[in-house]
Amino acid sequence: MNIKKMTNTIKETKFNLPGQTRFYKGKVRDVYTINNETLVMVASDRISAFDHVLPEGIPYKGQVLSQIAAKFLDATSDIVPNWMEATPDPSVTIGKMCIPFKVEMVIRGYLTGHAWREYKSGKREICGVEMPDGMIENEKFLTPILTPTTKEDIGHDEDISREDIISQGIVSEKDYIRLEKYTRELFQRGTEIAAKKGLILVDTKYEFGKDKENVITLIDEIHTPDSSRYFYSEGYNNIIARGESPKQLSKEFVRQWLIENNFQGKEGQKIPQMSIEYCKSVSDRYIELFEYITGDKFVKEDVNDVVNRVEKNIIDYLKS
């Protein structure tokens, strides 16, 4: 595997697929629209942090994210319909196109991350939700709290309250009530699955849209280390009682490495160089995450010519 040249990673795709009508490049995903009704989502090996895409790809990262998401979409399809129809390649999901709601449904079971930073600054309300006095970092909320954000095409997503979402007409009250219900049920299911693996699902986000039949549909990925935070459950109570941070299963370790190397996405800061060894270590961590979260052994696909492999598998599926 030639990591030095990173030819074994999907850093970008430039496919010309049968029936292709649109292409969108996100931070991590390349999304192709087919005949204005089907989406082909390629999970690249790009990695982002602090709203910046880092310069090197991470071997197998796209496969990890795609396969975790597929597993959890299957495991929650009885709660809410989802967009996924097929996975013709380990790094690809194909499904129905939906019109997305312009909000991300963030749900937090524990006081950590952004919520803790707000709390530590003295705030006791986030997204219109009150947080009780006297909590410590990483402590469990009595009931998970919903802290939605706007979903911006350009710029940063911003915290927003339930009341503002409805009053501004971003989502109708009827639909928003359904989004809240689905979010809590999905989080409960994810919590139960994680507990069986010795993990705590700390917080996560869900995205929803409506399909052509006007049915609310779960879209994008769920319960992956890019969209969710997990703690190991063993020793959790003792660790936070000592004022220490529980070991996480998320890409937080990448953010910490960047901070240690003086990068937080601020103006004038330079992204640190990612060595071959570092990229390999990140790949190993993502594989570790996969195996803990799913309980399955990770099977590395042939990545000697990974971009052509992906393209061939997509085209074979579309032609069939």
Domains of the chain and any CATH numbers: 100-249 (3.30.470.20)
H/E segment holding residue 207: strand 199-210
CA-angle at 87, arms to 207 and 25, nearest 5°? 55
Q: Residue 258, Cβ neighbours under 10 Å: how many?
A: 19
- Nearest-10 crossing angle of helices 276-294, 252-260: 150
Residue 223 gets which letter from DSSP? S
Backbone angles phi, psi at 313, to 5 degrees: -65, -35
Question: Distance between CA atoms of 139 and 120, rounded to whole angstroms?
Answer: 13
Q: What is the pLDDT of residue 220?
A: 92
Q: What is the pLDDT of residue 312?
A: 97
CA distances from 208 to 36, 79, 97, 193, 228 (A): 18, 13, 11, 21, 16
CA 59 and chain centroid, separation: 18
Q: Write out the chain's pLDDT in tens, 320 residues.
A: 433 444 589 999 999 999 999 999 998 999 999 999 999 999 999 999 888 999 999 999 999 999 999 999 999 999 999 999 999 999 999 999 999 999 999 999 999 989 999 999 999 999 999 999 999 999 999 999 999 999 876 556 799 999 999 999 999 999 999 999 999 999 999 999 999 999 999 999 999 999 999 999 999 999 998 899 999 999 999 999 999 999 888 788 898 899 999 999 899 999 999 999 999 999 999 999 899 999 999 999 999 999 999 999 999 999 98
Q: What is the pLDDT of residue 51?
A: 83
